[in-house]
């Protein structure tokens, strides 16, 4: 089993955070978002990974390299013109020789990928779309399945009058390599708008799997903040760096908290942070490393990036 991490998007809805940083490198509790995706893949024994990049690719290339520092084998594929979601994966043609899981590098999830893969194999599917239930399906692509889980219909970002299900496409797929023979390399092609409708028209087996667990596409600044608060509250099954020095307060190395400072959880404080006397940090504070919190400063329900 292989994995392809899609990491080429511009993340325009997260501007200004993504003006100079690709969205997969935007920090969540002081670690690039994509590191958590790699951790998830490793948890499910997937170590052979391709990464598609386009926007500010050198930041991703420099950080992850060949993946060895993160316990995986990684090959990075750069696209020089936008190729769409399916087109960017098709660009990894020499990698596409086995069943693969395709996943975004700029979201957060703790889905049981092993269960998804087992379902895909049980159904003998050519493609399995991982779905989840949401309260506001207008922002996502709605997926309709039959009683056996077979995909019947896609609807991209419907109006309320068109909403007839609350199961949405998470952008996580299990695919057989043969599906990429349906269109040529170098052609702009989207999974939900182009490839999956084409497969349905040819009666190729596509199934939907409704996953349980946490999922956020971190689609805007509010979700960016809330995702980190959810992590601190234990709503996401992920490892948090640092030592839990107080209840639900994680603190990095070489951080100095003055005796007169007040720190309350849930909060995260990175390494080499100074918090002065009289400062109040938390609840729901995320402080990046190398930051200085001045006397009598108050930070709550906020995310402060490193070096501030």
CATH code of the domain in which 279 resides: 2.160.10.10
Same domain, 248 and 138: no
Lowest mean pLDDT among 114-128, 131-145, 197-211, 226-240: 131-145
pLDDT at 164: 54
pLDDT at residue number 199: 94
Cβ pair 14, 221 in contact under 8 A: yes
pLDDT tens, residue by residue, 286-303: 999 999 999 999 999 999
> For residues 276 and 256, what is the distance between their CA atoms, to the nearest angstrom?
8
100 shares its domain with 204 = yes
Q: What is the pLDDT of residue 229?
A: 97
What are the tens digits of pLDDT across the range 114-163?
999 999 999 999 999 999 987 765 666 677 788 888 888 776 655 544 54
Is the model's pLDDT at 17 over the cut of 50?
A: yes
Q: Is there a single domain that holds both residue 217 and residue 256?
A: no
Confidence label for 306 from pLDDT (cuts 50, 70 and 90):
confident
Q: Are 225 and 176 in contact (CB under 8 A)?
A: no
**Of all residues in the chain, what percent carry a pLDDT higher than 90?**
80
Tens-digit pLDDT profile for residues 33-67:
999 999 999 999 999 999 999 999 999 999 999 99
> Would you give the DSSP letter of residue 232?
H
CATH number of domain containing 73: 3.90.550.10
Q: How sure is the predictor about 167, in pLDDT bands with cuts at 50, 70 and 90?
A: confident
Question: What tens digit of pLDDT does each residue of 63-93 get?
Answer: 999 999 999 999 999 999 889 999 999 999 9
- Residue 241 pLDDT greater than 50, yes or no: yes
193 lies in a domain?
A: yes
- Per the listing, tokens 């693969």 go with 100
Domain that holds residue 297: 242-304
How far is 256 from 274, CA to CA, in rounded Å?
5
Mean pLDDT estimate for the chain:
92
Last residue of a domain, one of 157, 189, 221: 221
Segment among 108-122, 143-157, 166-180, 221-235 with least mean pLDDT: 143-157
113 and 211 housed in the same domain: yes
Q: Residue 98 CB: number of other CB atoms within 10 A?
A: 10
Secondary structure element (H or E) that encloses residue 88, with its range: helix 84-90
- From 164, 192, 221, give the residue that closes a domain: 221
Domain end marker among 172, 188, 221: 221
> Would you say 271 and 252 are in contact if contact means Cβ atoms under 8 Å apart?
yes
**Based on the domain organization, do 74 and 174 belong to the same domain?**
yes
Strands 206-210 and 127-133: parallel
29 with 231: CB under 8 angstroms?
yes
Give the pLDDT of residue 137: 55
Q: Are residues 48 and 160 in the same domain?
A: yes
Based on the fold, state whether residues 131 and 261 are members of the same structural domain: no
Residue 18 lies in a domain: yes
Task: With respect to residue 181, please indicate whether it lies within any of the assigned structural domains.
Answer: yes
- For residues 268 and 189, give the distance between their C-alpha atoms in angstroms, rounded to a whole number: 40
| Residue 161: predicted pLDDT | 47
33 with 86, same domain?
yes
Q: In the chain, how many domains are there? A: 2
- CA–CA separation, 236 and 219 (whole Å): 17
- 104 lies in a domain? yes
Q: What count of other Cβ atoms lies within 10 Å of the Cβ of residue 153?
A: 13
Q: Left (φ > 0), alpha (ψ -120 to 50) or beta: where does 292 sit?
A: beta
Q: Give CA–CA dist 84/126, Å, rounded.
A: 20
Instruction: DSSP letter for 157, please.
Output: S
Whether 212 and 120 share a structural domain: yes
Question: Does residue 229 belong to any structural domain of this protein?
Answer: no
Please name which of 105, 35, 45, 40 lies closest in space to residue 70, comparing C-alpha atoms. 35
Q: Please indicate, yes or no, if residue 250 is contained in any of the structural domains.
A: yes
Same domain, 205 and 280: no
Q: How confident is the model at residue 169 (pLDDT cuts 50, 70, 90)?
A: confident
Q: Are residues 14 and 96 in the same domain?
A: yes
- Indicate whether 89 and 42 sit together in one domain: yes
| Any domain includes 232 | no
Judge whether 230 lies within some domain.
Answer: no
Q: Which long-range contacts (CB under 8 A, 24 or more apart) does 139-142 make?
A: 139/219, 140/168, 140/169, 140/217, 141/168, 141/169, 141/192, 142/166, 142/167, 142/168, 142/169
């Amino acid at each position: 089993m292989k994995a392809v991490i899609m990491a080429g998007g511009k993340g325009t809805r997260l501007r200004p955070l993504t003006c100079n940083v690709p969205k997969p490198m935007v920090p969540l509790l002081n670690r690039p978002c994509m590191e958590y995706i790699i951790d998830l893949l490793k948890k499910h024994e997937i170590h052979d990974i391709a990464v598609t990049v386009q926007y500010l690719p050198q930041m991703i290339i420099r950080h992850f390299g060949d993946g060895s520092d993160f316990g995986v084998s990684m090959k990075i594929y750069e696209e020089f013109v936008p190729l769409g979601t399916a087109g960017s994966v098709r660009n990894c043609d020499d990698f596409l020789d086995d069943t693969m899981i395709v996943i975004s590098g700029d979201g957060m999830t703790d889905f049981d990928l092993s269960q998804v893969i087992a379902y895909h194999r049980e159904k003998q599917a050519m493609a399995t779309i991982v779905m989840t239930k949401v309260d506001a399906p207008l922002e996502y692509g709605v997926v309709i399945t039959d009683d056996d889980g077979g995909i019947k219909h896609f609807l991209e970002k419907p109006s309320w009058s068109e909403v007839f299900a609350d199961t949405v496409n998470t952008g996580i797929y299990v695919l057989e390599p043969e599906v990429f023979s349906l269109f040529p390399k170098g052609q702009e092609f989207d999974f939900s708008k182009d490839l999956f409708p084409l497969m349905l028209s040819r009666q190729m087996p596509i199934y939907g799997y409704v996953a349980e667990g946490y999922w956020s596409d971190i689609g805007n600044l509010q979700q960016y903040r809330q995702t980190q608060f959810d992590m601190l509250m234990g709503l996401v099954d992920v490892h948090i760096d640092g030592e839990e020095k107080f209840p639900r307060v994680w603190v990095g190395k070489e951080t100095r908290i003055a005796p007169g400072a007040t720190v309350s959880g849930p909060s995260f404080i990175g390494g080499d942070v100074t918090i002065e006397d009289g400062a109040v940090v938390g609840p729901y504070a995320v402080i990046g490393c190398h930051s200085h919190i001045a006397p009598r400063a108050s930070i709550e329900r906020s995310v402060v990036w490193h070096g501030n």
